Amino acid sequence: MAIRATRFIVWGVVLVVAAALVYALQPQPLQADFVTIGRGPLRVTLDEEGETRVRDRFMVSAPLAGRVLRIELEPGDPVVANETVLATFLPVDPTLLDSRTRAEIEARVRASEAAVGRVEVERERVRAELEFADADLERYEHLDANNLISTEQLDTMRLRARTAGDMVRSADFAVSNAKYELEVAQASLMQARSGGGDAQTITLRSPIDGVVLQRLRESEAIVPVGEPLMEIADPTQLEIVSDYLSTDAVRVRPGQPVLIEQWGGDRPLAGQVRRVEPYGFTKISALGVEEQRVNVVIDVEEAREAWEALGDGYRVEARVVLWEESDVLKVPTSSLFRDGDAWAVYAVALGTAALTQVELGQRNGLEAQVVSGLSAGDQVIAYPSDAIADGVEVEERQ
């Protein structure tokens, strides 16, 4: 009996060892990350760094050679058109001028007077265009209330009215600048006619309402004619310029929505493409590669209070929205790979990887729209490795 019991124990140990060897030699399922396909929003954007800038900036310079007194204004100080004194200027003793030079100065004054008249006429023209655009917008809003036009047509008229308003403001700046240039020319003529008499003090006043952007000279000094003294602008008229690759810029259109991120605020700002500039330029990338770039100009659509901390030359990130849907079937791009000329994924069916070709629609860097090949609720392998193939057993990594 003892011998029989010993045999049973030996055979039992042998069977256990054999079973362990068989189990160890059998192939084990590969572990992988599974993702369940579902529906949700999808947005396709073109992302690029951008920079803020004021639309119209004015460089205040010395009207003629002389002594500029100490400039007390500092960057950020507000200025009022035709009131705030930007700089006080003392011309140097006049030199004797021949008749030809005097005639040139007088001609420059007359040309400046003609320029003032020209820009004033242009301002009246753009004001008339603004009135016409506002009237058209009012008619289109009435038609939209009765569902007689599309939303795109109404948005186009709104963009036209807003652009016309910007043109009026730009024309106002042009008139102020032309009057300022006329004052500069008249100051030169006044020096030419002084004939060696007592020099008169010249005060340079602000041509616009705005703030001082830069103070290029502070201390009293003798400066030549045309010496830059300070730069002023209206900070409320801020735009964003972002240089896109030319291959991406051809897909951007005026009126497309833009998300403005990484500007320092706690939420993205809404914007809209105003203009795609018609010329490109060469830029050297950080890797030393020559790239053709195109400037895209973007307007901020938010109220001024939401972005009043932004100033000229600030860095932002602009995301131009090319396509957007709220409910599409989508798959992570990390699951996709090329299978010949088609896109494919490894779907998971009963613990086995199944090679499945899919037809894709729109896609961004993270997700892609599935047109056919998968259904909501299907599981796919998120990061397929070279070890995974069609028919291989897989299990979800915990």
**Residue numbers of the domain that contains 316:** 45-53+236-324
pLDDT band at 197; cut points 50, 70, 90: very low
Beta bridge partners of 276: 296
Indicate the number of domains in the chain: 4
Name the average pLDDT for the chain: 86
Q: Which of 97-111, 268-282, 304-318, 383-397 has the lowest mean pLDDT?
A: 97-111
CA distance 382 to 398: 14
For residue 214, give the nearest of 227, 228, 226 by alpha carbon.
228
**pLDDT cut 90: percent of the chain above it:** 46
CB 39 within 8 A of CB 367: no
Q: Could you give the angle at the alpha carbon of 364 between the alpha carbons of 329 and 347, nearest 5°?
A: 45
What integer pLDDT is reported at residue 51 of this predicted model? 96
320 within domain boundaries: yes
* pLDDT at res. 258: 96
For tokens 């030809």, name the residue. Answer: 100
**Which of 148-162, 179-193, 294-308, 319-333 shows the lowest mean pLDDT across its residues?**
179-193
Q: Do residues 89 and 229 make contact, with C-beta atoms less than 8 angstroms apart? A: no
Give the list of residues 6+ apart from residue 194 with CB closer than 8 angstroms, or none: 94, 200
In a domain, 387, yes or no: yes
Residue 140 lies in a domain: yes
Of 324, 342, 375, the residue that ends a domain is: 324
Closest CA to 46 of 333, 365, 321: 321
Across 173-182, average pLDDT: 82
Percent of the chain with pLDDT over 70: 88
More reliable by pLDDT, 171 or 296: 296
Per-residue pLDDT band for 196 (boundaries 50, 70, 90) equals very low
Residue 275 lies in a domain: yes
Same domain, 319 and 240: yes
Q: Report, as an integer, the average pLDDT of 367-373.
A: 94
Q: Is 355's pLDDT higher than 60?
A: yes
* Rounded average pLDDT over 3-8: 63
pLDDT (average), residues 226-230: 91
The backbone region for 255, taken as left when phi is positive above 0, alpha when psi lies in -120 to 50, beta otherwise, is left
List the CATH number of the domain containing 77: 2.40.50.100
| Amino acid found at 16 | V
Determine, yes or no, domain membership for 2.
no
**Residue 191 and residue 218 in one domain:** no
* Bridge pairing between strands 394-396 and 30-32: parallel
**Residue 160: pLDDT over 80:** yes
Q: Is residue 189 part of a domain?
A: yes
Task: Identify the domain boundary among 324, 355, 379.
Answer: 324
For range 107-131, the mean pLDDT: 84
pLDDT of 93 = 56
CATH of residue 280? 2.40.30.170
Residues 217 and 278 in one domain: no
**CATH number, domain with residue 373:** 2.40.420.20
Domain boundary among 275, 296, 324: 324
pLDDT tier, 365 (very low <50, low <70, confident <90, very high otherwise)? confident
Do 182 and 226 lie in one domain? The reply is: no
Same domain, yes or no: 281 and 218: no
Same domain, 74 and 163: no
Is 363 among the domain residues?
A: yes
Residues 165 and 285 in one domain: no
127 and 143 together in one domain? yes
d(CA 163, CA 173): 15
Q: Tell whether 191 and 98 lie within a shared domain.
A: yes
Residues 125 and 164 in one domain: yes
pLDDT at site 366: 92
pLDDT in tens, 206-226: 989 999 999 999 999 888 888
Cα distances from 341 to residues 45, 337, 338, 390, in angstroms, run: 25, 10, 7, 18
